[in-house]
A and B are shown apart, each in its own frame.
Chain A
Amino acid sequence: MTPTLAGRIQTRLLLLSTIGLAWVVLVAALLGGSASPSYTDRLRAGVAALIITMLLGVVWELVYHAAQQYRWEKDWPTGLALAVGLTEGTAVWFALNTAARRSTLVPSMTVPMFVVVFGTTWLLIWLFASGPMRVVALRWRYRGGRLL
């Protein structure tokens, strides 16, 4: 799939709010332990990370789209879509920590927990977008990721 700007944003929002959310609900339960925060706090922190990834992501997509304009293919290589998880993850981590410091609604997360939650969610979404997404949304790949 070669994304358009609208396709990038729509795909990001859809996949984070469906597969991403389902995975965070599950992984928050799997990460339990005596020293961990409660399940509710883990879930709230995970959902907060998802929301930040969506909001910051809209800005990131503008940057990626601008960079794409300098490629003859006007495409976005699959590996790059995975690799930018590192920069995005770092940005989300700082934004999440800032939010946790300023609001009691957002619980904090340890670095290992964040790496697991964000990393696995990112990987899962990347894998889904690289294949199975085409099955349920046949026209998605032709429309540059646009769903509407």
Chain B
Amino acid sequence: MSTVRTSQKSMLDQLLIQDKWKRDDLLDLGIRVIDAPLVTVGGGLGSFALADHLRVAGVPASEIVVLGPCSDPSDTYRRLASNSQIPDNERLRSDSGSTIDNIWGFPSYALREAWHDRSLTPLMKVATEPILTEYFTPRAGQVYAGVDRECDRIGWSSMFHKGWVRTIRPDRDGGYFVLFTVEKGLAVDGRRQIERIAFRCRTVHVAVGYPGLALLPDLASFRKRYPDHSHRVSNAYEPHDHVYDELSHRSSTIVIRGSGIVASRVLQRLLDDRRTLGTNTRIVHLFRHYVDGPQGDSPRFRRQGGGGFAYQPFNFPKAAWSGQLREHLEGLESSERADLINRMGGTNTAPRKAWQRQLAEAREAGVYLQRIGRVTDIEPTGSGLRIVLDPSDGGSAIVEANHIVDATGLLAEMTQHRLLADLLTHCGAGQNSKGRLDVDPDFEVRGTRSGEGKMYASGAMTLGGHYAGVDSFLGLQYAALRITDQMSNDGLCRALSPGRNASGWTRWALGRPPRNRRAA
């Protein structure tokens, strides 16, 4: 038995080093091959957005295969949001029309909230934003509930298969094989039992989210050197409630790294806890690059800034999603796109008055201190950490703290993700100037065409392409629409025509499933 398993593993290893596969290669290994027109890999909101568009275009649920580790497409997003201190009742950084559960953006989240709460306040906010009020943003829970409803409507559970995809290979006859691993429980001898299935498809879509999260190098090094003290160093995207628990029990000092939206959320949580739980927490906010005023030399391209933060309501200027900046970016070459994306994006947070007021009060009370400098060393002490700085603000080189929270949102390299690295090595995919997956304006992964087969990608890993807001609800929908349009051009599905949209929207409004219509 063991010899057979070893031999099969050896054959699989041989297969994995090949750039193209044949159906017989897989059948010889006892791997079941299932034909499917389209496979979307990831199973998160990127897969959901594409499946939703295709279903509205008339593609039957039976012709869409969704592969991923979580059955709820909101699951990963919800976990990251919750870890970074956005529980369901808090508002996201997304605008009213970016309705991930509705491909048309109507009714908006504000209109739905107004209807649900029987209140005109959300509508007044949209009508007066951002001049008299701040931008309306939806509550996280409202977004998740909408996704759940839309999943039921489009038959998500019948499309979804739970498991892992680590390999995609072009079929020698055109199209792709997606090698899918399903866990089948434990064998009698305690070994993990798995089954490998190969989906053979003409179109494959990859939307696996972030390649991975990374700690700042000095923090990663600390964790490695002092594993017993690693709980004192947290990534804001990881579960780190133990930090808040400890702070609620004793007077502490916490160091926050980063000045983006996640840092703002963590600061809000710490200051809320001071007010509501009476914690005695002192915050040292450590900046590497301090923003002391508006950014940009031209009055036509100047972002608000000051007090350490660069401010803009969303990750990018609004016109990057649908206006002149979108059009401009689409026409640029790779390195120019990277430059413009950096200038429009980078580290920034939302200019929310409540946060600014909270910080000003905390600063006045002496419990919020800003420092500027580079960390040169971190050492554990009896009950905390000793941080050595190369300060550029003239302050002390030593900061004593109990915890450090890394809210920089640093992402791992694409090559650290097994599937993405495999695409680079074996499928002809390349990297753009931002180091992410190189896609064309229609989100087709350049260099991966296989006969008539096409590979598409959407989401965070395509940043640096022809669209800036890829890592957003509207960006995922934009990518889904471009892919659906391409599939329609290739005769694989019906076009999302005005008539199709009108009837599709009516069915959405009535809660009825989309009507199946095969490609002409």
Q: Taking the nearest CB of chain B, how far is it from the CB of A146, in angstroms?
A: 9
Is A4 in the interface zone, CB < 8 Å from B? yes
Beta-carbon contacts under 8 Å, B282-325 to A: 299-304, 312-313, 317-319, 321-325
Interface centre among A70, A78, A134, A135, by most chain B C-beta atoms within 10 angstroms, is A135
Cα separation A74 to B498 with both chains bound (whole Å): 28
Q: Are A132 and B106 in contact (CB under 8 A)?
A: yes
Contacts of B321 in A (CB 8 A): 2, 142
A contact residues, range: 20 to 34
Q: Are B129 and A77 in contact (CB under 8 A)?
A: yes
Interface centre among B128, B302, B318, B321, by most chain A C-beta atoms within 10 angstroms, is B318
Cβ-defined partner of B502 (8 Å) among A5, A72, A136, A143: A136
Tell whether A74 pairs with B319 under 8 Å between CB atoms, given A134-B105, A135-B502, A136-B498: yes
Q: Are B324 and A74 in contact (CB under 8 A)?
A: yes
Q: Are A72 and B498 in contact (CB under 8 A)?
A: no
Q: Are A4 and B323 in contact (CB under 8 A)?
A: yes
A-B contact count (CB 8 A): 92
Cα separation A143 to B319 with both chains bound (whole Å): 10
Which partner residue on chain A sits nearest B323 by CB separation? A2
Q: Taking the nearest CB of chain B, how far is it from the CB of A71, in angstroms?
A: 8
Contacts of A144 in B (CB 8 A): 319, 322-324, 326-327
Beta-carbon contacts under 8 Å, B424-465 to A: none
Cα separation A132 to B481 with both chains bound (whole Å): 18
Cα separation A4 to B130 with both chains bound (whole Å): 19
Contacts of A143 in B (CB 8 A): 322
Contacts of A73 in B (CB 8 A): 130, 312-313, 317-319
Q: Are A134 and B301 in contact (CB under 8 A)?
A: no
What are the interface flags for A82-114 relative to B under an 8 Å C-beta threshold, 1 for contact and 0 otherwise? 100000000000000000000000000000000
Q: Are B302 and A75 in contact (CB under 8 A)?
A: no
Q: Taking the nearest CB of chain B, how far is it from the CB of A14, in angstroms?
A: 13
Tell whether A72 pairs with B302 under 8 Å between CB atoms, given A4-B324, A131-B107: yes
Q: Taking the nearest CB of chain B, how far is it from the CB of A28, in angstroms?
A: 28
Tell whether A74 pairs with B299 under 8 Å between CB atoms, given A138-B103, A138-B481: no
Is A69 in the interface zone, CB < 8 Å from B? yes
Q: Are B126 and A78 in contact (CB under 8 A)?
A: yes
Beta-carbon contacts under 8 Å, A34-72 to B: 69-70, 72
Q: Are B105 and A141 in contact (CB under 8 A)?
A: yes
Contacts of A74 in B (CB 8 A): 317-319, 323-325
B contact residues, range: 35 or more
Contacts of A75 in B (CB 8 A): 317-319, 323
Q: Are A72 and B505 in contact (CB under 8 A)?
A: no
Contacts of B486 in A (CB 8 A): none
Q: Are A142 and B104 in contact (CB under 8 A)?
A: no
Which partner residue on chain B sits nearest A126 by CB separation? B127
Cα separation A37 to B355 with both chains bound (whole Å): 58
Q: Taking the nearest CB of chain A, how far is it from the CB of B394, in angstroms?
A: 32
Contacts of B410 in A (CB 8 A): none
Is B501 in the interface zone, CB < 8 Å from A? yes
What are the interface flags for B102-130 relative to A under an 8 Å C-beta threshold, 1 for contact and 0 otherwise? 01111110010000000000000011111
Which partner residue on chain A sits nearest B509 by CB separation? A135
Q: Are B501 and A135 in contact (CB under 8 A)?
A: yes
Contacts of B319 in A (CB 8 A): 2, 73-75, 144
Contacts of A139 in B (CB 8 A): 481
Q: Taking the nearest CB of chain B, how far is it from the CB of A142, in angstroms?
A: 5
Cα separation A80 to B131 with both chains bound (whole Å): 9
Is B175 in the interface zone, CB < 8 Å from A? no
Q: Taking the nearest CB of chain A, how far is it from the CB of B256, in angstroms?
A: 26
Which partner residue on chain A sits nearest B506 by CB separation? A135
Is A22 in the interface zone, CB < 8 Å from B? no
Is B70 in the interface zone, CB < 8 Å from A? no
Cβ-defined partner of A136 (8 Å) among B326, B327, B501: B501
Q: Are A2 and B318 in contact (CB under 8 A)?
A: yes
Q: Are B501 and A72 in contact (CB under 8 A)?
A: no
Contacts of B492 in A (CB 8 A): none
Cα separation A69 to B498 with both chains bound (whole Å): 32
Which partner residue on chain A sits nearest B508 by CB separation? A135
Q: A138-B481, A142-B481 are in contact. List 14 more A-B contacts (CB 8 A).
A: A1-B322, A73-B130, A74-B317, A75-B318, A75-B319, A80-B131, A134-B97, A135-B501, A135-B502, A138-B498, A141-B322, A142-B478, A144-B322, A144-B326
Query: Can you list 25 A-B contacts with CB-CB less than 8 angstroms, sorted by A residue number?
Result: A1-B97, A2-B321, A7-B323, A70-B299, A70-B300, A72-B312, A73-B130, A74-B317, A74-B323, A75-B318, A78-B126, A78-B129, A79-B132, A131-B106, A134-B97, A134-B106, A135-B104, A136-B498, A136-B501, A137-B498, A138-B501, A139-B481, A142-B481, A144-B324, A144-B327
State the 8 A-B residue pairs at the shortest beta-carbon distance, nearest first.
A2-B323, A74-B319, A75-B318, A131-B106, A73-B318, A135-B505, A144-B323, A73-B317
